[in-house]
Each structure stands twice: as C-alpha cells, then as structure tokens.
Amino acid sequence: MKVAIIIDGRRVQIDRGAPIIDAARKAGIFIPTLCYHEALKAYGSCRLCMVEVIQNKQSRLVTSCNFPVEGGMEVFTDTPRVRKIRRVIVELLLARCPDVPLIQTLARQMGIDFSRFKKKEEKQCILCGLCVRFCEEVVGVGAIGLANRGTEREVATPFRVASDVCIGCGSCTYICPTGCIEMVPDEERPKLRRMNLGKLSLSPCPNNYQCEACSIEQEFFEDIKRVIADFRNRHKTPSF
Ligand code: SF4
Ligand code: SF4
Ligand code: FES
C-alpha cells in the first residue's frame, strides 16, 4: 500500500514500510550513509543517516536506512540536531581512521578540519559490516564475521585463521569503503586468491563516493555474479 509523507517540504508517495532513505532518494534528497547498501539488509550501525521525524506531534531522531515509512509522517534531513550528530560521528571516525579517504571526504563536505576526539590506536576498519553482509547475503559464503565487543570489536574469520570457506571472489575488498581487506595469492591453491584482513590504503573514489549513480558499481555486480557462478561450476560437489 502506498502512503504519502513529507520530506524536507516535498510530498513523496512510497510503499508503507519502505525505509525513509528510499523516500529521500525518490525526492532527490541526499542523506549520507556508511553502513547502508541497497543490495544488503539494513544494519543501522553507523548512525550517519540520522534524520528527524515528526509523528503524532512528537519529534525524534531515527536512522533513515532502517526506519519504516508510515503515512502522515514528516521528515527533516538537515536540521541543526541532525547536523550536530553527523558532525560528532564524522569527528569520531576521523580520530579512528584519519588516513581513510572516504572519511576525509565526508569531513571536508561537513567543513570539519580536525577531530576534537583523542586518537587512540589508528585503525582502518569503521565496523560498517558491509563486507560481512555481502559475503553472507550475496556471495552466500559467510567467511567473515564481526567478533568481540566494545573497543575489541573487529572483522575476523572464525578463530582468526585463514578461512577454508572463502572462495576468493574479492567482493569484500570491493565493498569495503576503507580498503582494509586485500586479496592475496593462495599458496595452497595456486589458481585461487584468498582474502587478507590487514591495512591497505585505497585511492579516493573517482566518483566522490556517489555510489548510487556509479557505473563502476554496476560493472562490479555483473563481474561478481560471473565470478561466483564460475567458482561454483568449477567446484561443484558431485551428486550421487
Ligand atoms: S573473498 Fe572470501 S571473504 Fe571476501 S566476500 Fe568473497 S568469499 Fe567472502
Ligand atoms: S573491513 Fe571494511 S567493509 Fe568490513 S567492516 Fe571494516 S570498513 Fe566495513
Ligand atoms: S547508513 Fe544508516 S545507520 Fe549506517
């Protein structure tokens, strides 16, 4: 069932229950995201996509990538409260990964020159979980997961040993926005590659991280479908 909502003053008709971010995109309104990808289930972890919603005369902040649209809802994507939260998130990320081009770009777009937060150990992973979800939901393998809690949280293979289920398709390296996964030759299986979680620098995106309208993204999906199908054909378990 279609419902109508008002987003930044524009009326949008959309399926009831669709995430707010879809309505924003339909209205041509940009909301920054880090852990969201339209090919994957929403995860709602980075909080960068926060918007302000007014429902039943009450205002609250919600993550637009996983908050469902209801008829009569009013959404504001660029209020002082929203901007303040996004700035804090980007400053925290800038303290965690100062060398990551994507984070530098986001900071620049928000006019942030430095982070007020103290740098601890410099990391490259922003824990967006895109690699984990892509490996599980699209590739269908589940070779990596998010392990541990708090400051110890990390992407890892079970028991942190080289995965024996990874098919070396490279999807995780492609989808990772910070470039901290790399593919390396597999010594045991010379024709294959394996994924390595480590520190690897990516060059900034040639399309300024505008993934929605990116032809590179489309080509990637076509390639990856081919790679996965090819792998499965070559490694078919014989049926008896
Ligand atoms: S390279 Fe391995 S870990 Fe990465 S998406 Fe493919 S199967 Fe998963
Ligand atoms: S390795 Fe990359 S894709 Fe995976 S959680 Fe970390 S930043 Fe996200
Ligand atoms: S994009 Fe919505 S929480 Fe990360």
For residue 40 the two structure tokens come to 């994957």
The confidence score (pLDDT) of residue 240 equals 35
Asked if residue 228 and residue 169 are part of one domain, the reply reads yes
Same domain, 142 and 230: yes
pLDDT grade, residue 239 (50/70/90)?
Answer: very low
Q: Is 135 in the pocket of ligand 2 (CB under 6 A)?
A: no
- Please report whether residue 217 resides in a domain: yes
In a domain, 39, yes or no: yes
Same domain, 136 and 213: yes
Q: Which pLDDT score, from 0 to 100, does residue 121 have?
A: 72
Find the mean pLDDT for residues 168-177.
Answer: 86
**Statement to judge: residues 16 and 90 lie in one domain:** no
CA 52 to ligand 3 centroid distance, Å? 14
Q: Is 102 in the pocket of ligand 2 (CB under 6 A)?
A: no
Question: Is 153 in the same domain as 205?
Answer: yes
SS3 174: helix
Residue 240 falls within a domain, yes or no?
no
- Residue 132 neighbours by CB distance under 10 Å: 22
| Ligand 2: centre distance to CA 131 (Å) | 6
Q: C-alpha angle with apex 69: 175 to 9, nearest 5 degrees? A: 100
Instruction: Determine contact, residues 124/178, Cβ cutoff 8 Å.
Output: yes
Q: Are residues 113 and 63 in the same domain?
A: no
Q: Which atom of ligand 1 is nearest to the CA of 142?
A: 8
Is the CB of 124 within 6 Å of ligand 2? no
Residue 213 CB contacts under 8 Å (≥ 6 apart), including other chains: 207
Q: Where are the alpha helices (DSSP H) in 97-200?
A: 101-109, 130-133, 171-175
What is the torsional sign of CA 76, 53, 51, 28? negative
Chain mean position to CA 162: 24
239 in a domain, yes or no?
A: no
- Which of 21-30, 150-159, 165-174, 183-192 has the highest mean predicted lDDT (pLDDT)? 21-30
Q: 86 and 56, same structural domain?
A: no
Tens of pLDDT, residues 1-10: 999 999 999 9
Q: What is the C-alpha to C-alpha distance for residues 186 and 204, in angstroms, rounded to an integer?
A: 27
Total tally of structural domains belonging to the chain: 3
Atom of ligand 1 nearest to the CA of 131: 5
Please give the C-alpha separations between residue 47 and each of 16, 127, 168, 209, 221, in angstroms, as whole numbers.
Answer: 22, 12, 31, 18, 26
Q: Beta strand pairing status for 2-7 and 74-76?
A: parallel
Most confident among 68-77, 167-176, 181-190 (mean pLDDT): 68-77
Quote the pLDDT of residue 8. 97
Mean of pLDDT values over 195-224 = 70
Q: Is residue 228 part of a domain?
A: yes
Does residue 153 have a pLDDT over 90?
Answer: no
The pLDDT value given to residue 192: 66
Higher pLDDT, 119 or 199: 119
Mean pLDDT across the stretch 10-33?
Answer: 95
**Residue 56: inside a domain, yes or no?**
yes
Q: Sorting pLDDT into bands at 50, 70 and 90, what band is 237?
A: very low
**What's the whole-number mean pLDDT along residues 100-127?**
87
Instruction: List the domain range (segments joined by +) for residue 10.
Output: 2-78
Q: Does the beta carbon of 103 sit less than 6 angstroms from any atom of ligand 2?
A: no
Q: What is the CATH number of the domain that holds 10?
A: 3.10.20.740
